[in-house]
């Protein structure tokens, strides 16, 4: 709970928020220009941040099927609801299929296939946001995605990379071959992709919605069509035919949840929110807590002391993740202890400024226990949405549904004693973890960084760049990034490499000094994921964006002036 606020069911009241609300900036930033355009269109039509977020997520499902899917993946999101002035967390992550066993999964853990899929929870999560925070009809929200899927879109260089990487798997499936191979060759940059089966599935969901008497029952009808109707039946049939673990009961019994986020106070007037376990978002908050009593004045983001401090704080946070963070229904995750000021001070005392720690690294608590996309939206009423959504990185399409299914089983441990072990009905420790920071009770920073275990590391760096080093969001996102691998990776084969990966633009003098301190520094491109950031000024009327320069399709829009609607 943040100071000055009283917790409400499913949310956390922001501290001492002012009563007088000015018209607010409307903005969208995402990893693809077509998704940003969809969100902008929805805001201009009078939609809320939730309506726009669903539109953005749906279009990203079409144009980035290698990253996320509102139909086949899972999602975490943070939402600031201006009235009643609270931040909530969306848990749209499904469980492991009830037919799964560790003995069956272990020999196939590194293989491509339907056995890698957990229950797709994202759709129910998006419907929950529309029900709680949305205003528009489902057909309006999905119209941009349906149009892009049916009319086609150009292959980006990012898609070309993923198609090439997954070519062998794509050629295993006639459905994927029809989608991504033409005249015997993979589609190339500039070619047109059509996702017509996905468009059909979206249209069927809209038809289910439209057949209901009102908006609320329509949303439930769209849920039922997915989880208790034709979509579930198609996915389960495909799963049974292809060695998967999902059952109709898994679908019918699932529901996404709006839950209370976790948070820390950073300085005097900033509160940073993250998604609770089973998300790994707690690692960002732990690292920030360790760092916040250090003095960074007069320093730069690539100062060796600054980088060393952040890297060592990250290592300690991820050591705790490995030891303690899993499905909260199956293990006691000591959130309060991990985020306490006393624990942060004790962790800071473990950092040797002249020597890099290497895995194995013990947790400071004596207790027993494919990729992604991110986007952010603010609307005319001051509501805000920060989202990171993912399906892994598996090009596997479920029959003729157009659904690209997730591979989240590969993010679970094969060790029966691990808090994130494979078990039927268990919820994976999810790497997706957007953050939201409020300043004096108002939305301030919305951010996310993709790339499995890079996510919270990149977010930490971007937050520090803005808050401690006075950068703009664009400068923060463009700043050369670093990634530690001094802990077991989230995904199979779960290796700890003990390297510090930095981008080529990182200063050579800093690289050499970090090596002197014992960091095994490797320099290379393509190691840091992609990031987007949205910053709102103190009175909420203006927004600034950080658009990922490493991604040619990334785009952001700030609408010209508050909407009159």
277-314: pLDDT as tens digits: 988 899 999 999 999 999 999 999 999 999 999 999 99
Cross-strand pairs, 27: 378, 558
Spell out the residues 6+ positions from residue 19 whose beta carbon is closer than 8 angstroms to its own.
Answer: none
Q: What is the rounded CA–CA span in Å between residue 11 and residue 82?
A: 12
Q: How confident is the model at residue 102 (pLDDT cuts 50, 70, 90)?
A: very high
Task: Report whether pLDDT(221) > 80.
Answer: yes
- Calpha distance 144→43 (Å, rounded): 13
Give the mean pLDDT of 516-540. Answer: 91
Quick check: 29 and 533 in contact, CB under 8 A? yes
Check residues 9 and 234 and name the one with the higher pLDDT: 234
Q: What is the mean pLDDT of residues 425-453?
A: 89
Residue 437 to residues 87, 273, 386, 463, Cα–Cα distance (Å)? 10, 6, 10, 9
The C-alpha atoms of residue 87 and residue 72 are separated, in whole angstroms, by 26
357, 486 in Cβ contact below 8 A? yes
Which pLDDT score is estimated for 329? 85
Cα 257 from Cα 540, distance rounded (Å) = 28
Question: Is-catalytic flag, 378?
Answer: no
Query: What is the mean pLDDT of the segment spanning 303-326?
Result: 93
* pLDDT of 339 over the 70 cut: yes
Res. 93: pLDDT tops 50: yes
Whole-number pLDDT of residue 526: 73
Q: Which of 201, 283, 372, 450 is catalytic?
A: 372
CB-count burial class (<10 Å; 0-12, 13-18, 19+) for 296: middle
Q: How confident is the model at residue 371 (pLDDT cuts 50, 70, 90)?
A: low
Residue with tokens 């983001």: 301
How far apart, in whole angstroms, are the C-alpha atoms of residue 313 and residue 346? 11
H or E element in which residue 247 lies:
none
Whole-number CA gyration radius for the chain? 22
Q: Is the pLDDT confidence value at 435 over 90?
A: yes
Residue 225 banded pLDDT, cuts 50, 70, 90:
very high
> Measured at the alpha carbon of residue 155, what is the angle toward residues 150 and 161, in degrees to the nearest 5?
135
What CA dihedral angle connects 214, 219, 225 and 228, to 10 degrees? -110
As a whole number, the mean pLDDT across the chain is 91
d(CA 563, CA 565): 5
Residues 491-504, buried b or exposed e (16+ Cβ, 10 A)? Answer: bbebebebebbbbe
Q: Is the Cβ–Cβ distance between 335 and 342 less than 8 Å?
A: no
Task: Kindly provide the b/e burial profile for residues 469-484, where b requires at least 16 CB atoms within 10 angstroms of the residue's own CB.
Answer: bebebbebbbbebbbb
d(CA 502, CA 243): 39
Query: Of 73, 26, 108, 102, whose CA–CA distance to 416 is shortest?
Result: 102
The label of the residue with tokens 């709102």 reads 536
What secondary structure, in 3-state letters, does 61-73 show? HHHCCCCCCCCCC
The answer on pLDDT for 427 being more than 80 is: yes
Q: What is the mean pLDDT of residues 512-533?
A: 91
Angle, alpha carbons 287-292-294 (nearest 5°): 115
- Predicted confidence at residue 432, as pLDDT, reads 75
DSSP state of 333: -
Which residue carries 């998006």 as its tokens? 126
What is the per-residue pLDDT for 525? Answer: 79
CA–CA separation, 23 and 62 (whole Å): 33
Flag whether pLDDT at 11 surpasses 70.
no
pLDDT above 90 coverage of the chain, percent: 76
Biggest CA pair distance of the chain: 68
**Residue written as token pair 């960084």:** 449
Residue carrying structure tokens 């208790």: 228
The strands making up 442-449's β-sheet, listed across from edge to edge, are 262-266, 270-274, 435-439, 442-449, 531-536, 543-546
Lowest mean pLDDT among 135-144, 223-232, 274-283: 274-283
Q: Which residues is 536 bridged to in the sheet?
A: 543
- In angstroms, rounded to a whole number, what is the distance separating the alpha carbons of residues 36 and 114? 31
Q: What is the pTM of this model?
A: 0.92
pLDDT of res. 421: 86
What's the pLDDT tens digit per position in 45-56? 999 999 999 999
Q: What is the mean pLDDT of residues 157-170?
A: 90
Residue the block writes with tokens 């949405």? 385
Q: What is the structure's pLDDT at 563?
A: 38
> What per-residue confidence (pLDDT) applies to 22?
46
- What is the rounded CA–CA span in Å between residue 202 and residue 179? 17
The predicted pLDDT at position 393 comes to 66
Angle of helix 215-227 relative to helix 122-133, nearest 10 degrees, comes to 180
Domains of the chain: 30-259+382-411 (no CATH), 262-371+432-550 (1.10.246.130)
Q: pLDDT category, 4, cuts 50, 70, 90? A: very low
């Amino acid at each position: 709970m943040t100071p000055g606020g009283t917790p409400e069911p499913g949310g956390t009241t922001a501290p001492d928020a002012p009563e007088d609300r000015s018209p607010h900036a409307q903005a969208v930033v995402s990893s693809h220009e077509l998704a940003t355009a969809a969100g902008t269109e929805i805001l201009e039509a009078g939609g809320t941040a939730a309506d726009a977020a669903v539109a953005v997520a749906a279009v990203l499902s079409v144009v980035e099927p290698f990253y996320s899917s509102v139909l086949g993946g899972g999602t975490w999101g943070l939402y600031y609801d201006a009235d009643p002035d609270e931040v909530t967390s969306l848990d749209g992550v499904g469980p492991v299929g009830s037919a799964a066993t560790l003995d069956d999964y272990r020999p196939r853990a590194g293989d491509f296939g339907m056995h890698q899929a957990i229950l797709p929870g994202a759709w129910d999560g998006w419907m929950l946001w529309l029900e709680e925070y949305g205003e528009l009809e489902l057909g309006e929200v999905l119209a941009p995605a349906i149009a892009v899927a049916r009319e086609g879109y150009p292959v980006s260089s990012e898609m070309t990379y993923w198609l090439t990487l997954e070519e062998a798997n794509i050629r295993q499936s006639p459905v994927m071959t029809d989608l991504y191979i033409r005249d015997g060759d993979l589609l190339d940059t500039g070619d047109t992709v059509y996702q017509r089966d996905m468009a059909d599935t979206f249209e069927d969901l809209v038809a289910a919605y439209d057949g209901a008497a009102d908006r609320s029952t329509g949303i439930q009808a769209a849920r039922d069509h997915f989880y208790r109707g034709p979509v579930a039946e198609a996915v389960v049939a495909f799963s049974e035919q292809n060695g998967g673990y999902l059952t109709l009961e898994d679908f019918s019994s699932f529901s996404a949840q709006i839950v209370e986020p976790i948070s820390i106070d950073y300085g005097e007037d900033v509160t940073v929110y993250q998604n609770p376990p089973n998300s790994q978002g707690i690692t960002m908050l732990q690292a920030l807590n360790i760092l916040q009593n250090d003095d960074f004045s007069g320093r730069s983001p690539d100062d060796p002391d600054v980088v060393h401090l952040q890297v060592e704080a990250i290592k300690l946070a991820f050591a705790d993740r490995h030891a303690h963070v899993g499905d909260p229904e199956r293990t006691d995750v000591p959130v309060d202890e991990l985020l306490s000021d006393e624990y942060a001070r004790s962790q800071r005392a473990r950092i040797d400024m002249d020597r890099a720690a290497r895995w194995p690294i013990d947790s400071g608590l004596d207790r027993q226990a494919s990729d992604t996309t991110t986007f952010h939206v603010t609307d005319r009423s001051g509501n805000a949405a920060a989202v990171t959504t993912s399906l892994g990185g598996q090009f596997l399409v479920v029959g003729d549904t157009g659904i690209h299914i997730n591979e989240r089983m590969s993010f679970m441990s094969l060790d029966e004693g691990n808090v994130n072990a494979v078990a039927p009905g268990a919820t994976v420790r999810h790497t997706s973890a957007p953050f939201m920071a409020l300043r004096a009770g108002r939305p301030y920073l919305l951010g996310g960084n993709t790339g499995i275990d890079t996510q919270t590391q990149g977010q930490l760096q971007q937050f520090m760049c803005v808050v401690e080093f006075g950068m703009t969001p664009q400068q923060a996102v463009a700043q050369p990034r670093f990634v530690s691998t001094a802990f077991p990776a989230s995904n199979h084969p779960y290796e700890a490499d003990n390297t510090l990966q930095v981008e080529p633009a990182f200063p050579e003098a800093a690289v050499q000094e970090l090596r002197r301190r014992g960091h095994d520094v490797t320099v290379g491109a393509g190691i840091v994921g992609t990031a987007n950031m949205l910053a709102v000024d103190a009175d909420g009327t203006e927004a600034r964006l950080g658009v990922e320069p490493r991604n040619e399709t990334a785009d952001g829009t700030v609408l010209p002036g508050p909407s009159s609607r």
